[in-house]
Amino acid sequence: MRKNIVAGNWKMNLKRDEGLNLVNDVINLLPSDNEVEVVFAPSFIYLYKVNKMCLNLDRVSTASQNISKEESGAFTGEVSAEMIRSINVKYAIIGHSERREYFKETNEDLKQKVDVLLKNNLEVIFCCGESLNQREEKVHFDCIKNQISESLFHLSSNDFSKIVIAYEPIWAIGTGVTASSDQAEEIHKFIREIIAQKYGRELANNISILYGGSCKPTNAREIFSKDNIDGGLIGGASLNAESFIEIIKSF
């Protein structure tokens, strides 16, 4: 079901105590009538502990920042879907632009990751988004359509309903430049439309689509006010309890 989600992607930041204190502070500051699902995506080595801190809380969960496309075996340094499922993590983020760019992950790799995640009953936060060049060349709609269709459109309707999409224009990630709320809404509406064409309007209306890219307390309210924006995937501003809470309260 469509829901509002604010997910904090810590990336390769925070030492153990900094991370655990941040989770504690956010939990303590959460409004009691919070309707938003809050997701922490720490590094793998803190995931077990952070997940334990969230287990008995309503609408607070965790995500891994990545996952292996392989199920198990001789893949030194990799972490499998089965492993994170075994510690009761709910989500995995895949397809972040940093993974696509620095680790050369392709749409085909992500297709395999989606399959292995769904097979292990994990929910997927699937990132997509165009580069500045692609936007300037006006191929951003095609880019996003390809990312989504090549990695996700082999899924059954039932499986697709377990996907959360995060639209993250690469030019806005970590740059301080945010897509305007109208630019973001235009793409979110487009994403919902291509999902509707493939799976029908009802399913498309039930998918949560998050925005990511320099989202902060000063712009979150305006961004989240748009019809097709169901929350945010937050990088830098999720590393500080006060700013993360302000974003959560922006609905």
**Quick one: which of 8, 19, 42, 212 contacts ligand PEP (CB under 6 A)?**
212
Over the window 157 to 176, marking each residue x when it contacts ligand PEP by CB under 6 A and - when it does not, the resulting string is -----------x----xx--
Residue 235 as a binder of ligand PEP (CB under 6 A): the answer is yes
Longest dimension (CA), the chain: 48
Give the nearer residue to ligand PEP in terms of CB position, either 83 or 170.
170
Q: Which residue pairs from 108-112 have beta carbons closer than 8 angstroms and sit at least 24 positions apart in sequence?
A: 108/150, 108/151, 109/69, 110/151, 111/150, 111/151, 111/152, 111/154, 112/69
Over the window 9 to 48, marking each residue x when it contacts ligand PEP by CB under 6 A and - when it does not, the resulting string is x---------------------------------------
**Quick one: which of 4, 65, 214, 228 contacts ligand PEP (CB under 6 A)?**
214
Report the distance separating Cα 130 and Cα 144, nearest Å. Answer: 7
CB contact at 8 A, 179 and 211: yes
**Alpha-carbon torsion, ordered 24, 31, 234, 230, to 10 deg:** 150
Residues carrying an active site annotation: 96, 168
Give the nearer residue to ligand PEP in terms of CB position, either 105 or 168.
168
In the numeric block, the tokens 């924006």 are attached to 229
For binding to ligand PEP (CB under 6 A), which residues are involved? 9, 168, 173-174, 212-215, 233-237
